[in-house]
């Protein structure tokens, strides 16, 4: 993502580049975010703990509103959702993209306008669709032909529901094969090349209670270049033009999804939002002019690019073990609160906080506490040679796909979420306790 703030003068620019803009180092070894020392957060709330910078979230929402002034920006709730996040996104004027009845109900019961919510999902359950209709969701994105009849029947002959169709444009993009969703032969969407997208659209047009407002696509995640999005625009506009010729259909909306790449470590590439917005607008206008169709309103769905850089995970070191040529630093969390390194090989840049060390940096691998050899938090990173049990490690860019993908592995309990802003820290989500876990176990 493009840089939003100027770096603080008290830290090196390269060290700050993947941290929230509020991160400063008032003294060597001490790090504050949102005006709150991270060591103080760990002391007060324990570890592991997620910290999220409220102002960073809000500023990133504003950046999207600024670079896409005429588009509808929908925050992808799957990245991270809680009631506070719903509130922040609503206040900053964004819509929501949800993937389940649970995400939808949390948002609406927090006060988010349902008409500004889009429901996704490759396999929506009856509860998902019933909840969407009961709460008055703005749009439902059709992902399979069977969904059309189910939704039409649930709406009823006198009802009305706006829908979009998720199209597979046949474009490979994204940081890992498991998060590339714009290609053929994966579970999402309906292909243009085999005609399934066109078939689904024709079926929707035969359902008067379903109003087709536009097309949707999502290319993947962690995309750091603009070219895949431009290719998607051309293919989607090509389909829109064919639909206009065949059905006289003028679709007012085009959703290009999200997947906007961010840097997890200093020096890594990130998607330039300003360039993306400018080139996508130009490509869309040119393609529509060539096809002789009206320019649809653009929708984008950022999730990681808003939440990710605003979050930090804090851990205490439990053990330091030197085995052969490797040094392993074990912490009190791991794959139950962040499965992404195991799933995608994601690499982070943890930092010692809470004390100053003048020891030379040495290569170590930060590992978790779980009973898996693949439970790695950060492989081959540099930490001070005198790293020891009791030290506090901070992992930046931990705001997306951490808590939302957390599990109950080894029954350690999911960490709390603490918001920091203007020198204050407040609890958003409490730690999952043994009593929480035990209360769900109702059989014997």
Distance CA 301, CA 94 (A): 10
- Which residues, including other chains, have CB under 8 Å from residue 300's CB and lie 6 or more apart? 64, 68, 71, 72, 73, 74, 255, 256, 257, 258
Asked if 181 contacts 228 with a C-beta cutoff of 8 angstroms, the reply is: no
Question: Is residue 134 exposed (0-12), middle (13-18) or buried (19+ Cβ within 10 Å)?
Answer: middle
Asked if 17 contacts 263 with a C-beta cutoff of 8 angstroms, the reply is: yes
pLDDT for residue 2? 31
pLDDT for residue 12? 40
pLDDT for residue 185? 64
pLDDT for residue 4? 30
Residue 415, token pair as written in the block? 């960490």
Catalytic positions: 371
**What residue has token string 């579970």?**
187
Residue 59, token pair as written in the block? 């500023």
Rounded to 10 deg, the angle between the 227-247 and 273-291 helix axes is: 30
pLDDT tens sequence for the chain (444 residues) = 333 333 333 334 477 789 999 999 999 989 999 999 999 999 999 999 999 999 999 999 999 999 999 999 999 999 999 999 999 999 999 999 999 999 999 999 999 999 999 999 989 999 999 999 999 999 999 999 999 999 999 999 999 999 999 999 878 655 445 444 445 565 678 988 788 888 899 999 999 999 999 999 999 889 999 999 999 999 999 999 999 999 999 999 999 999 999 999 999 999 999 999 999 999 999 999 999 999 999 999 999 999 999 999 999 999 999 988 899 999 999 999 999 998 888 899 999 999 999 999 999 999 999 999 899 999 999 999 999 999 999 999 999 999 999 999 999 999 999 999 999 999 999 999 999 999 999 998
Distance CA 161, CA 3 (A): 39
The dihedral sign for the CA sequence 167, 170, 173, 176: positive
pLDDT for residue 323? 87
Give the start-to-end residue ranges of the domains of the chain: 13-52+309-440, 54-307
Asked if 314 contacts 300 with a C-beta cutoff of 8 angstroms, the reply is: no
Distance CA 79, CA 340 (A): 12
Distance CA 250, CA 327 (A): 61
- Which residues, including other chains, have CB under 8 Å from residue 301's CB and lie 6 or more apart? 73, 74, 75, 76, 97, 118, 218, 255, 256, 257, 258
Domain 54-307 of CATH type 3.30.565.10: no
Distance CA 378, CA 349 (A): 7
Distance CA 307, CA 69 (A): 20
How many CA atoms are closer than 13 Å to the CA of 113, on its beta-carbon side? 10
The dihedral sign for the CA sequence 234, 237, 239, 242: negative
DSSP state for residue 324 in the 8-state scheme: T
**What residue has token string 């204050």?**
424
- Which residues, including other chains, have CB under 8 Å from residue 219's CB and lie 6 or more apart? 169, 171, 173, 174, 180, 181, 182, 228, 229, 232, 257, 259
Distance CA 83, CA 80 (A): 10
- Which residues, including other chains, have CB under 8 Å from residue 290's CB and lie 6 or more apart? none
- Give the rounded distance of the alpha carbon of 64 from its chain centre: 14
pLDDT for residue 17? 87
Distance CA 189, CA 182 (A): 8
161 Rama sector, left if φ>0, alpha if ψ -120 to 50, beta otherwise: beta
166 Rama sector, left if φ>0, alpha if ψ -120 to 50, beta otherwise: beta
DSSP-assigned letters across all residues of 86-104: HHHHHHTT-EEEE-SHHHH
Of 355, 327, 133, 433, the closest CA to residue 117 belongs to 133
**What residue has token string 């080139």?**
279
CATH number, span 13-52+309-440 = 2.40.37.10
- Other beta carbons within 10 angstroms of residue 69's beta carbon come to 10
């Amino acid at each position: 993502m493009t840089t939003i703030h100027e770096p603080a003068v008290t830290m090196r620019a390269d060290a700050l580049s993947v941290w929230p803009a509020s991160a400063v180092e008032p003294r060597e070894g001490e790090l504050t975010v949102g005006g709150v020392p991270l060591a103080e957060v760990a002391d007060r709330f324990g570890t592991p703990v997620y910290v999220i910078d409220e102002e960073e979230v809000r500023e990133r929402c504003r950046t999207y509103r600024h670079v896409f002034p005429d588009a509808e920006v929908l925050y992808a709730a799957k990245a991270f959702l809680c009631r506070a996040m719903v509130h922040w996104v609503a206040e900053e004027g964004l819509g929501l993209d949800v993937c389940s009845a649970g995400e939808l109900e949390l948002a609406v019961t927090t006060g988010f306008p349902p008409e500004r919510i889009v429901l996704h999902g490759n396999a929506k359950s009856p509860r998902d669709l019933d909840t969407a209709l009961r709460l008055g969701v703005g749009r439902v994105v059709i992902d399979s032909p069977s969904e059309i009849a189910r939704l039409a029947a649930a709406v009823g002959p006198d009802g009305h529901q706006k829908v979009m169709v998720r199209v597979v444009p046949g474009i490979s993009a994204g940081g890992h094969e498991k998060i590339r969703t714009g290609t053929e032969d994966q579970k999402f969407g309906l292909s243009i090349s085999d005609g399934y997208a066109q078939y689904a659209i024709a079926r929707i047009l035969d359902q008067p209670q379903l109003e087709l407002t536009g097309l949707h696509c999502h290319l993947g995640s962690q995309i750091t270049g603009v070219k895949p999005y431009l290719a998607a625009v051309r293919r989607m506009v090509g389909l829109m033009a064919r639909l206009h010729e065949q059905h006289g259909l003028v679709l007012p909306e085009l959703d290009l999804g999200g997947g906007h790449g961010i840097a997890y470590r200093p020096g890594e590439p990130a998607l330039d939002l300003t360039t993306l917005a400018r080139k996508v607008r130009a490509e869309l206008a040119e393609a529509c002019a060539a096809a002789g169709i009206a320019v649809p309103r653009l929708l984008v769905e950022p999730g990681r690019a808003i939440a990710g850089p605003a979050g930090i995970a804090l851990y205490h070191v439990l053990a330091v073990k030197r085995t052969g040529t490797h040094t392993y630093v074990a912490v009190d969390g791991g794959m139950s609160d962040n499965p992404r390194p195991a799933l995608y090989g994601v690499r982070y840049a943890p930092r010692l906080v809470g004390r100053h060390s003048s020891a030379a940096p040495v290569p170590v691998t930060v590992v978790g506490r779980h009973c898996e050899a693949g439970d790695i938090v950060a492989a081959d990173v540099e930490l001070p040679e005198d790293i020891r049990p009791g030290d506090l490690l901070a992992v930046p860019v931990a705001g997306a796909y951490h808590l939302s993908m957390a599990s109950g592995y080894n029954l350690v309990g999911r960490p709390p979420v603490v918001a920091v802003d203007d020198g204050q820290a407040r609890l958003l989500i409490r730690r999952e306790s043994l009593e929480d876990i035990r209360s769900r176990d109702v059989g014997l």
